[in-house]
Amino acid sequence: MPSATRRSLLHRLAERAGRVLAFLWSGWAGLAALCLLAAAWQAGHEAYGPFILTSPLDTVAAVAALASDPEAWAIGALTLQRAITGFVLVAAAGTALGVMAGYSPATLRLTGPLITVLMGVPPIAWIVLAMIWFGGSDATVRTVILISALPVVFMGAARGITTRDRGLDRMAEAFGAGPVQRFLTIGLRQSTTTLFPALALALGTAFKVAVMAELLANAGGIGGALADARINLDIAQALAWVTVSVALLISVEYTLVHPAKAEVDRWRRAAQPWGVKR
Amino acid sequence: MTALTLDGVGHAYLGRTILEDIDLAVAPGEIVALVGPSGCGKSTLAHIAAGLTNPRTGRVRRGYARHAMIFQDPALLPWATTAGNIDYGLRLAGVSRRTRSARIAKAAVQVALEPEDLQKFPVELSGGMRQRTAIARALAIEPDFIFFDEPFTALDVALRRRMQDLVIATCAAGRISGLFITHDLSEAARLAHRVAVLDTRGQGILGERLLAGAPGHRSDKAVFAWVQAALRQDPLFRHIHDVDERQIA
Ligand SMILES: Nc1ncnc2c1ncn2[C@@H]1O[C@H](COP(=O)(O)OP(=O)(O)OP(=O)(O)O)[C@@H](O)[C@H]1O
Ligand SMILES: [Mg+2]
């Protein structure tokens, strides 16, 4: 029945377009919040003067100046590349390890205290260690991202597997699914409930840690640019780079994380009352 | 050749014996109702018979080609639509992509689900509709043996009757055998060829009663009379009566 499939495809496409429109509409709320922030910022600027806090407009002008500078684009791209590769690394490693631990309670019990120890080590210590090992290179930044975000992703994946509905596993088995099929269609899909928030958190961590590691390891990128701004006491430049890094993170979140999450959580949205959706 | 044979099957959870020495056989085309008080191990027995749990002792022989199972809870994938849930079973059964949508539509009609229900997620369905989806998922793969684990408990009286008639008709038409677990003696009397009673503490099958006539050919009066007689005079069914009292309390 190709007509039925076509209809359901159209239905899904229409639903997806509706989701984009609803998202754009929710942009008004974001705009209002940004205006509030700018007003508070302006008040701070007027109270403390331009040497402590440049006005939002001056900062925007500095960002615009950066936008027309090809060198600034290269700096931004370097940090973006490091953050994304670090994130991909931690997502792959954390998910794989977490899933394995989720299926093996003994491993999970062993890794629990390990994770606690890892989480207890301040990220700055990892930066120092990575600097000694790799110098001021991409590897330093990636290593720090990997180590600081790994516990979150690992726990997200492991918890997703351990808290899965075993009834569904049993159902799949009753209908003839082998262990691999059960893992792919049931286990992995169920673990997204806890894995996705963990990945979103890891992405944010990746950007913040990348900038921090760049600054401390003198490895260029946005962190390096921030270090230069500090040396020159150029507050407008510093704020401009902060704005750029926030903008990078937000744009990656809305092009990567949110669409994937919306697709996976379609059924959850279906359960929400109308007032929560808009 | 029987469709299903249980031979001295026993099972224990965490050292606590749940089932012991269960012998049960289901002939091809036969529906055997398994009754027994709550918690006596009926679901466990069904899971062992279907190969989802390994028995601690005894053996299970299966003479059918493909089974389906309707669980006590619907066990639907929450992230898949009704159609997607029915499709899941079909995909696992290796049914080709082209025939799947026709099978989904047919199964949905059988269990009285509307076409628009097919695009809904389980959270958007009523409890009865969810259970009907689970029934459709089982029927769609065209099995020759079906395990029913109290599948109609969540349905209202009229719908339950309709689903019972569906089971009777489908099983008779396809010579499908089945093990039908239920609390409800009149349900057992309506759709089974034979009723087996499980011991309160899972210590074997207490006994069996053959029902007169084929399922679907018994009048409501005959069913009612059989249930009354069983409850009043047959010592085999004393425990079923106990359960009813417990449920009311
Ligand atoms: N996974 C498990 N671990 C430990 N004990 C279990 C487990 N599953 C079931 N049991 C125990 O086994 C016994 C039989 O359970 P089972 O679900 O087979 O009963 P049942 O006859 O299907 O009951 P009902 O009619 O209420 O569905 C119960 O006492 C229950 O506590
Ligand atoms: Mg049960």
pLDDT digits (tens, 9 = 90+) for A115-163: 888 888 888 888 899 999 988 889 999 999 999 999 999 999 999 999 9
Query: So what's the pLDDT on residue B204?
Result: 86
Domains of chain A: 55-275 (1.10.3720.10)
CATH number, position B176: 3.40.50.300
Q: Which of B142, B165, B180 is the last residue of a domain?
A: B142
Task: Tell me the average pLDDT of chain A.
Answer: 88
Q: Does pLDDT of A24 surpass 90? A: no
**Sheet (strand B67-70) strand order:** B67-70, B145-149, B177-181, B31-35, B194-198, B205-210
Q: Are residues B135 and B173 in the same domain?
A: no
CA-based nearest distance A201→chain B, Å: 23
The answer to whether residues B181 and B243 belong to one domain is: yes
Residues B234 and B224 in one domain: yes
Is B45 among the domain residues?
A: yes
Residues B22 and B52 grouped into a single domain: yes
Query: For chain B, how many structural domains are there in total?
Result: 2
Predicted local distance difference test score (pLDDT) of residue B147? 96
B150's CB contacts (< 8 A; 6+ apart) are: B72, B181, B182, B183
Which atom of ligand 1 is nearest the CA belonging to B44? 18
Residues B211 and B124 in one domain: no
Of the bound ligands, which one is closest to the alpha carbon of residue B198? 1
- Give the whole-number percent of chain A exceeding pLDDT 90: 58
**Structure ipTM:** 0.88
Q: B38 C-alpha to center of ligand 1: Å?
A: 8
Q: Which residues of B touch A175 (CB under 8 A)?
A: 68-69, 88-89, 92-93, 137, 141
Same domain, B137 and B228: no
Contact B121 A186 (CB under 8 A): no
Terminal Cα-to-Cα distance of chain B (whole angstroms): 44
Per the CB < 8 A criterion, the answer to whether A211 and A226 are in contact is yes
Asked whether residue B36 is domain-assigned, the answer is yes
Q: Which domain holds residue B130?
A: 78-142
- Is residue B241 included in any domain, yes or no? yes
Establish, for the pair of chains A and B, how many residue pairs have beta carbons separated by less than 8 Å. 65
- Domain assignment of residue B165, yes or no: yes
- Specify if B70 maps to a domain: no
Q: Is residue B71 part of a domain?
A: no
The least confident of A49-53, A60-64, B6-10, B109-113 is A49-53
Q: Are residues B223 and B150 in the same domain?
A: yes
The answer to whether residues B84 and B201 belong to one domain is no
Whether B176 and B219 map to the same domain: the answer is yes
Whether residues B169 and B194 fall in one domain: yes
Domain boundary residue, one of B108, B125, B142: B142
Average pLDDT over residues B47-74: 93
B173 with B234, same domain: the answer is yes
For residue B13, give the 3-state DSSP assignment: strand
Task: Judge whether B73 lies within some domain.
Answer: no
**How does pLDDT run across A194-250, given as a tens digit for each residue?**
999 999 999 999 999 999 999 988 888 999 999 999 999 888 899 999 999 999 998
Spatial neighbors of B69 by CB under 8 A, at least 6 apart, are A171, A174, A175, B46, B50, B138, B146, B147, B149
Q: How confident is the model at residue B247 (pLDDT cuts 50, 70, 90)?
A: very low
Residue that finishes a domain, picked among B142, B171, B189: B142
Question: Tens digit of pLDDT for each residue in A95-119?
Answer: 999 999 999 989 889 888 888 888 8
Distance B37 CA to ligand 2 centre (A): 10
> Is residue B86 included in any domain, yes or no?
yes
List the single residue in A174, A181, A186 with the smallest CB-CB distance to B69.
A174
Examine the domain organization and report whether B34 and B152 are in the same domain. Answer: yes
What is the C-alpha to C-alpha distance for residues B88 and B137, in angstroms, rounded to an integer? Answer: 8
Hey, is the C-beta of B141 within 8 angstroms of any chain A C-beta? yes
